[in-house]
Structure 1
Amino acid sequence: MLTTRPRGTNDIMPGEVETWQYLERQLRHICGEYGYAEIRTPIFEHTELFLRGVGDTTDIVEKEMYTFIDRGERSVTLRPEGTASAVRAYLEDKLYAGPQPVKLYYTGPMFRYDRPQAGRYRQFHQFGVEVFGSNDPAIDAEVIAMGMDFYGRIGLKNLELHVNSVGCPVCRPNLRRQLQDFFRPRLAGLCPNCRERYEKNPLRILDCKESRCNELGSEAPTTVDCLCDSCQAHFESVKEHLKLLDLPFLVDRRLVRGLDYYTHTAFEIMAPDIGAQSSIGGGGRYNGLVETCGGPPTPGIGFALGMERIIMTMKSQGCAIPESPALDAFVVTAGKAAAHAAFNLLFKIRGAGISADKDYLNRSLKAQMKYAGKVGAKYVVIIGEEELKQGTAVIRDMAAQEQSTVAMGEVIRYLLDKIQHTPL
């Protein structure tokens, strides 16, 4: 139907969009404080980028991507996440040739063909940060702390920070062997996806959401059990830096995240009071991803926060959200000549930096006043035939229910003075 939006998508309407704008302002502000610059990448990319970058054993690539053939017979995919695109831009636009590390952030829609549920949609929105060029455990801690700092600023409470290390190419083969040895006698009980993962990437079994796979793998070896000395030292240093910042955390030995590119540090931020799907953001290090995408060996780390999940958590916790500023002035008229003069005045008022509007439905004077009250205008500027003759306007303070007659040439000065002295 033409009047029905596609399943798993949402309209963000006035009254709700103000919350999004508030969050976006907060995100841009904190990124400025932490030294991150904005990047904007295409909504679709060549499919190969995600096959190589995200990993062909992930649920995203296997089941969730919106992929199609364009008119040039090329396979393109609506971006399911932001990191692969950031890596592609880092390489294509030669950001590696500038000062390192490169610290970027982005926000925008992502697309995954998944079963819609509370806070999870087929078109969803992510805010993410990426840091390229540093392997310092301190930058891991900074990225994690930045996410927690943002949540604290918007008023979220009772969050849990889960951290883990998922190893590196040196220690992964050992983990792979141990996992295959553990699951070999349990293979028949795994879900079909995990039976495939057993050969391709048994680490993915630890990330399965099926209860039977969770039960069968409850005693399975974990990444922490198999870390090489270098990964162990890196993880210990990350934890030390988090402690320096007084950031409480839980070591979650089964946390592996859902993407193949992660190495070393992995983390998730949980809001336990929103239900079983409690993750509201997470990320980790991906030291091999730039090389996988055709670049030189370059360490990287980042996170992504789900905007819909954040808003759902804010509502659940009753967080205060600043209201959108009310309209400063509404111009009300009576008579055609007055309407012309008011139209000219309206644009002069706006030009002075005052938010203002007028009636465009030819309502009566009484109806215009009523509408001005409905839209929350602080002041109403009334111009009728008599005011026009005298070169004046009547300005009504809607909160105080008081009004004054002001010379037409003084209307803007009067409004500016009143608005500046209006209590916040």
Structure 2
Amino acid sequence: MFSKILIANRGEIAVRIIRACKEMGITTVAVFSEADRDALHVSLADESYCIGPAQVGQSYLNMEAILSAAVVSGAEAIHPGYGLLSENARFATLCQQCNITFIGPTGEMIEKMGDKDEARRTMKQAGVPVVPGSDIVESVDEALRLGAQIGYPLLVKARSGGGGRGIRRVDSEAEIERAFLAATAEAQSAFGDGAVYMEKFLFPVKHIEVQLLCDAHGQVVCLGERECSMQRKNQKLLEESPSVAVSPKMREEMMAASAKAAKAIGYRGLGTIEFLLSQDGHFYFMEMNTRLQVEHPVTEMVTGIDLVKWQIRVAAGLELDFTQKDVTLNGHAIECRINAEDPYHDFRPSCGQITMLHIPGGPWVRFDTALYQGYTIPPFYDSMVGKLIVHAPTREEAIRKMQAALCEVVVEGIENNRELQLDLISDERFGDGSYTTDFLAERG
């Protein structure tokens, strides 16, 4: 097991990883930008190093500075958290070259699954159902020809990156050229790779993902599914596990397909297979995330398995001490993301000093955050400032528990989306589980 780990991230996920390391007896090293000098993860870690100015590109994406901090501190491994460098193949490879363990898959694996076009082809060859579509599209003329074959509506999608960027919906042939050029330009700007492919636009759908944990000894364990259909512009707002739309039979099929996918590529570490579930009950592979997910706590709640600790153990070469037969899903868990933004003014980001903070409590209520009273939220980073997670024996009780917990959340000094989350979780379509990925768009 590692004796010292550097956490190449910030905010609540850095705090989450530091706490897991402390419980495992592992010394922690934090890195921070000049804007994060007073951040909670800096004070919680055993050591901390400033790696650059506030701008992400000069600090948290500065690979050389992070690796230098790891070498100077004597860290044996780097945990990237999620976002930032967590799915950067070059960074994973550089860690390996510096004899530092990257807590995640290899650079080659990240590159393979990060290329969504190659991932589609790999899954198809492994017998995992994929959305009907095309390989890389080279020109507008080719897009027009393939569009006629696939049928409308369809999506033009970047093969690199994520977060909803480089994606355009096309409802007719007349829209192909503009969508193709716009998606290509956005993908090139965001990811440095303008390559796109096309696939049939399934509508309406649910977004279901299966959590995987794979060790270096060939064991693959599926930890149930999460539903992530409550989204705004492809960004998740609320997640739950298990999904009311997934029957026991479908769960078995999804987990079998996910295990097949992981074994086909020789995957190691924590990963997530994401599916689209159509109204006719068919599911299709969408992509694989080769990292820890923001919504991992709901899986921890229903399985009782600490994903961060096992991610570290697997990276250290340890064997899983449980099998698929040992995994049971108990009760229901829901997570609401608390963002520093104003939902009633076009989700305008908010920053400033936290003048009052009250965190809800009670049995099976968890609030993952890096906030503290008096802390000033800088304007340079992601708007998520916390995750509220609840667990209960039934979904109905979990909904009521979340409503009560949200009513207790107080974050004064900034705008936040607590009221929106209360609105969403109290909606009839959420209550009966019929909501789909277009729910927020439909509500305007």
Fold in common (TM above 0.5): no
Q: Give the structure-1-normalised TM-score.
A: 0.26
What is the TM-score when the length of structure 2 is the normalising length?
Answer: 0.25
